[in-house]
Structure formats: C-alpha cells, structure tokens
Amino acid sequence: MAQAVPPRYKHWWLPDASSSYAGQIDDMFYLILWITLFVFFLVEGALIVFLWKYRYKNGRKAIYTHGNNTLEITWTAIPAVILVFLAVFSNSLWSEIRDPNKFPKNAPAIQIKPRQFEWDITYPGPDKKFGTADDIQTINQLFLVVNQPVQIKLEGQDVIHSFFVPEFRIKQDAVPGMPTAVWIKPIKEAQYEIACAELCGLGHYRMKGTVSIISQDSMDRWVKSQAPAPAAAPAINLTP
C-alpha cells in the first residue's frame, strides 16, 4: 500500500512531492519565496512613495547629498544576516540528502552512469555487489521500491550530466571521474521522468529516462525475471 501524500506536499503549481524529504525542501522554498516577496514589495512600495513625494514641482530645488552611512550599513547588513540565516538553516537539510555519512543505514545502492545520451543503470544481483556476473543492467529504466530508501551512486562516462527528478526534489550532477551520491525514499507508487538538467551535447533534449516506483512484490518479480536462464545441459550422443 502506497503511503498517502500529506496535504502540504500537494501543490497547484509545483510537481507532486514524492520523496520523504520533498516537504522539507518545499518549506525551504516557500520561506525564501516569502522573504523575497516581502523585500520586493517593500522596495517597490518605497520607489512609488519616492516618485510621488519627490515629483517635479515649480520652484523646487534639488538637494545634493553624499549619502548616509547609517542607512547604507543598514541595507547592507540586513540582507547579509538573512543570507547567513538561510545558509545555516538549510545546511542540515542539504547534508542530510548529500552527505554519505548521513544516508539511511543498510539502504541498497543503484549505480547510474549516464552518457550521451542515455542513462546506464546497474542493480546489484543477489550477491549485493557491483561488477559481478549477476548484475542487472537497464537503459533509461529505473525501478524503486515505495517507502524504501535507496542510494543513487552517480558518475558520468563522458561529459557532465545531471540527474533530475522534480517530483523527488533532487538534482545531482554526474561528473566523469568524480563519484557522487544521493539517497531517495519514494513515498507513493507512480511513474516519473528522469531528465538531464545539464547541457551535455546536441542530443541533450532527448536524454530522458523513466523512474517507476513499485511495490516490493513487484520489484521481486522484476528482479527474478531478469535472472539469466539456466544453461541447457549438453546433449549426450548415444550413437554406438
């Protein structure tokens, strides 16, 4: 049974929030949005007031000033304090998603090594190791289990690509020679598009994949279907 999406995770203007930390990212987005809107209307309101107050009048003479140090320090310090607050406030969420030391313990891993212009995806087989004969490989098809955390290990094969699933609120570059990783816990069964969010060549526009969030039973059946067929027994020649 898929986990219900909390009401605050639903939006009329943002994609579905389908990962365990998507709500926290949206909260951060809205905090920054409201601060930005407040400053915008404050500045535009002041501009309108000054346009009206200091409009042209017959006989009025211009006043020349070299500035006000107190005012200039104030309007520089306030944005600086806001930026420092947002940086500190968001750091814990950033590290929770990007710091491997804070990934969920025992979460299985999936390797994604994008190249022009496709997503090469590798799942470990029953031995839970990569680079062995029982690995399962797909192209542009990512399968995740609902309500189960998973590590996504990324590394580009040619140029810089970027793994982007808006519904998960995750975007992570895949850089050649520099392995990176994120983790995801999908919270409902669905199917979304994987996009490359980094210009990677002439075929960038068609570099798309699909992530399917399915039940554990469905995943088990899919993994079983990918197992290689047993080799046929050699024929025995009974001719004398």
pTM confidence score:
0.80
More confident residue, 61 or 44: 44
Q: Quote the tokens at residue 20.
A: 């365990």
What is the fold, at CATH topology level, of the domain defined by 8-101?
Helix Hairpins (1.10.287)
Q: Quote the tokens at residue 195.
A: 């996009």
Domain 109-226 has CATH 3.30.565.10: no
* Per-residue confidence (pLDDT) for residue 1, from 0 to 100: 37
Tens digit of each residue's pLDDT (9 = 90 or more) over 93-145: 888 898 889 999 889 999 999 999 999 999 998 888 898 988 999 999 999 99
* Per-residue confidence (pLDDT) for residue 195, from 0 to 100: 95
* Per-residue confidence (pLDDT) for residue 234, from 0 to 100: 59
Pairing of strands 170-174, 161-165: antiparallel
| CB proximity list for 180: less than 8 A, separation 6 or greater | 153, 154, 155, 172, 173, 174
Helix axes 22-53, 69-98, angle to 10 degrees: 160
Tens digit of each residue's pLDDT (9 = 90 or more) over 61-74: 877 878 888 989 99
**Average pLDDT across the chain, whole number:** 88
Dist. CA 210–CA 180, nearest whole Å: 20
- Could you tell me the CA-to-CA distances from 202 to 77, 117, 205, 207, 209 in Å, in that order? 45, 9, 8, 10, 17
- Tokens 């047993």 found at: 230
DSSP string, 167-232: GGTEEEEEBTTB-EEEEE-B-S-EEEEEEE-S--STTGGG-EEEEEEE-HHHHHHHHHHHSPPPPP
Q: Is the per-residue pLDDT at 226 higher than 50? A: yes
On the question of a common fold for 8-101 and 109-226, the answer reads no
Helix H or strand E encompassing 72: helix 69-98
Q: State the pLDDT confidence band at 219, using cuts at 50, 70 and 90.
A: very high
Q: Quote the tokens at residue 114.
A: 């994008």
Q: Which of 149, 210, 171, 152 is nearest to 25 (CA)?
A: 171
Name residue 84's amino acid: V
- Tokens 């930005």 found at: 36
Tens digit of each residue's pLDDT (9 = 90 or more) over 156-178: 999 999 999 999 999 999 999 99
Q: Is the per-residue pLDDT at 233 higher than 70? A: no
Most confident listed range (51-55, 88-92, 188-192, 222-226) = 188-192
Q: Is the per-residue pLDDT at 232 higher than 80? A: no
Percent of the chain with pLDDT over 90: 66
Q: Where are the domains of the chain?
A: 8-101, 109-226
- The SS3 of residue 39 is helix
